[in-house]
């Protein structure tokens, strides 16, 4: 996989060897059964990704409906686009596609892979779990509100659907514009039953900034000293709630981690600097995907001993706020917000 790509000798325009000093690239898997809307989501992420340079792995280039004027170069299995993104065909299999893609490692920041409609997304995420050049991102599973109940009731599909639902870090409920209220309610109940710790987002047609929630910028250091509600992130999305908290004393890491897991079904996006007893960590969370990374020494604010965090959710966050207050956090109001 990726660790072999650095020794590969690629040829052709634009291809460069992978340098061992590069930071791992985040690997996001988009799963869900046939017809759930995975390709539509990929298109939306490409269209609204901002400065992100995506590498997208798909079964069929044609399904993306890429405008020929946006294609700058193609060698059959890899297509480079004018917005800095790259598309890679899975026609030869996942292993071959990864080898082809990693030849372009210096040209993208984030890998999106659209899983087959009958595959287990967790098996695909295993690539990131074992490859030091990859970092595990979200496993996003789409569920069709109009068909989910019937699909799970079909003995031929039940096991496949069970595996897909079990792999999710976050659920996107699709087709809600044509589903009945009863179908939507039943689908949400079903998803919550299978994965009580995974948040459920209703995918709306005007969620223009969805990419900022699902695939946030990987440059965590640039966010280190500015932790306050980013209202522009969700102005055009569904009604979100957010809280910003600060703690002036060291935080118990075990207790904080327990809260992250307990309320993962509410936390659509969480980030912050957490000053634990032993070390400071950068915290990022989306659903049940929780990540702590060491915080680098700060030269511009060396005397800052506070923990600061922001949490965004669809549901009310009173219970999360109460739990964090018991750890010593208080409400935080940033005058620059």
**What's the count of helices (H) and strands (E) in the chain, helices before strands?**
10, 15
Where in the chain are the domains? 2-213, 220-331
Confidence class for position 219, pLDDT limits 50, 70, 90: very low
Q: Mind spelling out the 3-state secondary structure of 27-92?
A: EEEEEECCCCCHHHHHHHHHHCCCCCCEEEEECCHHHHCCCHHHEEEECCCEEEECCCCEEEECCC
What is the per-residue burial (b if ≥16 Cβ within 10 Å, else e) of 123-143?
Answer: ebbebbeebebbbbbbbbbbb
CATH 3.50.50.60 is the classification of domain 2-213: no
Reported as a single tens digit per residue, the pLDDT across 256-300 is 999 999 999 999 999 999 999 889 999 999 999 999 999 886 544
The dihedrals phi and psi of 123, each to the nearest 5 degrees, come to -65, -35
Reported as a single tens digit per residue, the pLDDT across 167-202 is 999 999 999 999 999 999 999 999 999 999 999 998
Beta strand 200-202 with 241-247: parallel, antiparallel or unpaired? unpaired
Calpha distance 143→31 (Å, rounded)? 9
| CATH numeric code, 220-331 | 3.30.1220.10
Q: Which two tokens stand for residue 335?
A: 């005058």
Orientation angle between helical segments 121-130 and 158-166, nearest 10 degrees: 40
3: alpha, beta or left, given left = phi > 0 and alpha = psi -120 to 50?
A: alpha
Burial class (CB in 10 A: 0-12, 13-18, 19+), 272: buried
Same fold, 2-213 and 220-331: no
- pTM score of the predicted model: 0.82
287: alpha, beta or left, given left = phi > 0 and alpha = psi -120 to 50?
A: left
Calculate the average pLDDT of the chain: 83
Q: Are 288 and 169 in contact (CB under 8 A)?
A: yes
């Amino acid at each position: 996989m990726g660790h072999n790509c650095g020794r590969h000798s690629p040829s052709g325009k634009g291809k460069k060897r992978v340098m061992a000093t590069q930071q791992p690239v985040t690997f996001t898997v988009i799963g869900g059964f046939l017809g759930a809307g995975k390709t539509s989501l990929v298109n939306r992420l490409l269209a609204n990704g901002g400065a992100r340079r995506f590498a997208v792995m798909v079964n069929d280039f044609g399904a993306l409906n890429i405008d020929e004027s946006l294609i700058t170069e193609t060698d059959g299995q890899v297509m480079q686009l004018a917005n800095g993104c790259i598309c890679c065909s899975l026609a030869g299999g996942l292993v071959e596609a990864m080898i082809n893609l990693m030849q372009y490692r210096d040209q993208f920041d984030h890998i999106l892979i659209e899983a087959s409609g009958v595959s287990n997304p967790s098996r695909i995420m295993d690539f990131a779990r074992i490859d030091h050049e990859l970092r595990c991102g979200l496993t996003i599973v789409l569920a069709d509100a109009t068909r989910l109940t019937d699909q799970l009731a079909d003995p031929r599909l039940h096991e496949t659907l069970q595996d897909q639902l079990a792999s999710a870090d976050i659920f996107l409920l699709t087709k809600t514009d044509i589903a009945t209220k009863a179908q939507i309610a039943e689908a949400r109940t079903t998803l919550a039953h299978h994965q009580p710790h995974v948040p459920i987002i209703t995918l709306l047609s005007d969620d223009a900034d969805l990419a900022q929630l699902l695939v946030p910028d990987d440059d965590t250091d640039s966010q280190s000293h500015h932790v306050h509600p980013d209202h522009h992130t969700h102005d055009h999305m569904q009604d979100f709630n957010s809280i910003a908290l600060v703690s002036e004393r060291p935080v118990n890491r075990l207790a904080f981690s327990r809260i992250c897991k307990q309320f993962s079904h509410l936390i659509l996006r969480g980030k912050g600097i957490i000053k634990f007893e032993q070390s400071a960590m950068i915290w990022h969370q989306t659903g049940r995907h929780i990540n702590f990374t060491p915080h680098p020494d700060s030269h511009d604010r060396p005397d800052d001993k506070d923990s600061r965090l922001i949490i965004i959710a669809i549901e009310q966050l009173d219970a999360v706020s109460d739990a964090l207050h018991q750890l010593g956090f208080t409400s935080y109001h940033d005058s620059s917000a």
